[in-house]
Structure 1
Amino acid sequence: MTKRTCIITHDLEPSQLEKIKEIIPDWELISGKDSANWQNEMKKAEVIAGWKKELKEMVLEGDSKLRWFQSWSAGVDSLPLAEMESQDIQITSANGVHANPISETIFALMLGLTRKIHTYVKNQQGKVWHHSGLKLEIHNKTIGLIGAGAIGKETARIAQAFGMKVIGVRHSGKSEEYFDEMYTSGQLNDVLPQCDYVVVTLPLTQETRQLFRSEQFALMKDSSFFINIGRGEIVKERDLIDALQNGVIAGAGLDVFEKEPLSEDSPLWELDNVIVTPHTAGSTEHYTRRVIEDIFIPNLKEYITNGIPGINLVDYQKGY
């Protein structure tokens, strides 16, 4: 009888591998970043954790045994979802892994823009001693969190410590702890004029693609800051650039872009009211541990028991 196979395309600690082996002692377990470890075994893998570009050809074309795929990222928009759905492959995301590092990045960007840290770093490089018009505070301002998942919830919790009013926007409009008010996605335009900070934490779906265009930026205060750590394609980038150049909004902190890496000729690099980070908001020393111990291992136990991993199971219709 052929052994069932689980492949993890990342390097794990020996202790993590042992925990997995305890759950599937009779399986063949293959792990490691080096594709030489697993490239010849992909066709027989029932469970795979961690997507690599070459997997599409290896796994989705021909006779594949893949039944469950664990994504290493929260977003799954880069996966070949149509092909995976047609083969009845279950997908679970890494949603929740990023709550701590990304919420920290959100506040780093908000505070950096508010207290002009980015301006002072540039001044330091030129040995310029200048006040630069610093005046704003983050305390007691209003933050609009567009998306109320794990990242939005943790950001809301921290915002409360600054005495901020926290407004949320989510598809259902269902209330949530640490949010003072919650609105539905259809009420987005009603929320934007109220906010001093607009923070996008949404996944990319057909509904969220280019959700923010010139109309939305025009509704924001000219003193407000826009933060995007979701996906670049949620924003029509040319409209955002126009809003930043023409004073429609005060500034932006951006970790994601329509095309990555960000083109060297993009005006966003040069704008004084913009902070650019290279899609690193979720980077953390604890990433692999959280994916494996908080999501994959509990999911593996459920998969072995009833064939369905329960944490972060992706709904193909919603796209997340």
Structure 2
Amino acid sequence: MTKSIVCLQPLTSEQQDLIRAAAPDYTITLGDAKNPDLALLADAEIVIGWAKGISDTLLRQDSPLRWVQTWSAGVEKLPLERLEERGILLTNASGVHAEPITAVILGFMLMFTRNLHTAMRNQLNRRWHSDGSESELTGKTAVIAGTGAIGSETARIAKAFRMKTIGISRSGKADDNFDEVYTTDKLSGAVSNGDFVINTLPLTDETRMLFDADMFSAFRQGAYYINIGRGATTNTGDLMDALNSGRLAGAGLDVFEKEPLPEDHPLWDMEKVIITPHCAGSTDRYADRIVEIFTENLKSYLADGEPNRNKVDYSRQY
């Protein structure tokens, strides 16, 4: 039987050729995540991407599936328990998003410090106004929850603005881009030092609703909150309370508990909030970076039986 790779996302002919060159004994076929071909997936040994309605086909007892490469960094929407039970190798897209998401994070920070968000609203109303509260990033502190590729790159760029950077991670392992790194149990103490608190965390059992009323009460008065991780790591009601009370000066949000954010949601009308539609990681270079990671892993898979980059730890859910 021909060994099969099925990609559920569009790839250019050049990107497909890179995969073929790495695995000449395999076929590479493009599918459609919105309308997946179950017959095609039934014979796949390797799948790039994921889609609704394909679990039973891919995870049946006699399925040849051995490896799934996701199209995103987050894996919370996949049937992790079933994948683990079947011994399926799972790799994510960690590392693809660092540059574009860092740009969005710094964009939020610059907009808030320079009051560009209010300037844009004033422009729509042809209003020439400044309340004189413009500030700058120099000398301010960024507390970044998550010191992976996105958090580390954000800290590196923040250093160019002469900011202090504090990282939070499970391990507390030092990183050259951070002045200090603490373990997750020190988060509530660390956020009290932040002019900006940046959430880059994945959604796991440990991080669900991590940012709640208690956490926001520990923030420095007048701090800003930025979430580009996962919406369900934050209690939206508690966040709005912190904004309305003045505890928080503003929030830059790319992710939400419910997406798309409903048209009647009160967040839309909050002048302290900047909203982007879960597009912080989007870039015209996305597929190129996925293919780069995948082909490197594919060579390792063929040589050693498993990929060597971005393997998901089922016990940690990321």
What letter is aligned with 2:298?
L
**Whole-angstrom CA distance in 1 between matches of 2:285 and 2:172:** 32
Deviation at 1:219? 1.0
Change (3 A) 1:95 1:4: same
Which SS does the other structure have where 2:198 is aligned?
strand
- Equivalent pair of 2:69/2:92 in contact (CA under 8 Å): yes
C-alpha separation in 2, matches of 1:212 and 1:74: 20
Further displaced range: 26-35 or 181-190: 26-35
Structure 1 window deviating more from structure 2 (211-220 vs 132-141): it is 132-141
Alignment of 1:1-320 (within 5 A): 2-33=1-32, 38-61=37-60, 63-293=62-292, 295-320=293-318
CA distance in 2 between counterparts of 1:35 and 1:299 reads: 26
Residue by residue, what CA displacement relative to the aligned partner does 1:258-302 show, whole Å, maximum 9, x if unpaired?
111112222111111100111000000100000001x10000111
Q: CA RMSD for the aligned pairs? A: 1.4
CA contact (8 A) 2:19 2:291 kept: no
In 2: Cα distance, 1:11 partner to 1:261 partner: 23
Contact 1:119/1:132 (CA < 8 Å) preserved in 2? no
CA distance in 1, matches of 2:228, 2:156: 17
Distance 1:12 1:223, change over 3 A: same
Report the residue type matching 1:195 in the other structure: G
Show structure 2 runs of 5+ residues with no match: none
Check whether the contact 2:301–2:307 (CA below 8 A) recurs between aligned residues.
Answer: yes
Distance 1:258 1:284 in 2: 23
Q: Tell me the SS of whatever aligns to 2:298.
A: helix
C-alpha separation between the residues in 1 aligned to 2:242 and 2:24?
Answer: 57
Number of corresponding residues? 318
Change (3 A) 1:151 1:35: closer
Return 52-61 or 180-189, whichever deviates more: 52-61
Q: How high is the TM-score relative to the length of structure 1?
A: 0.96
| CA deviation string 1:107-160 (max 9, x = no partner) | 111111111111111111111111134322111100101100000010010010
Q: CA deviation at 1:37?
A: 8.1
Q: Determine what percentage of the aligned residue pairs are the same residue.
A: 46
CA deviation after TM superposition for structure 1 residue 26, in Å: 2.2
CA apart distance, 1:70? 0.1
- Residue 74 of structure 1 aligns to a residue in which SS? coil
Distance 2:17 2:230 in 1: 35
Asked whether the 8 Å contact 1:46–1:67 carries over to 2, the reply is: yes
TM-score using structure 2 length: 0.97
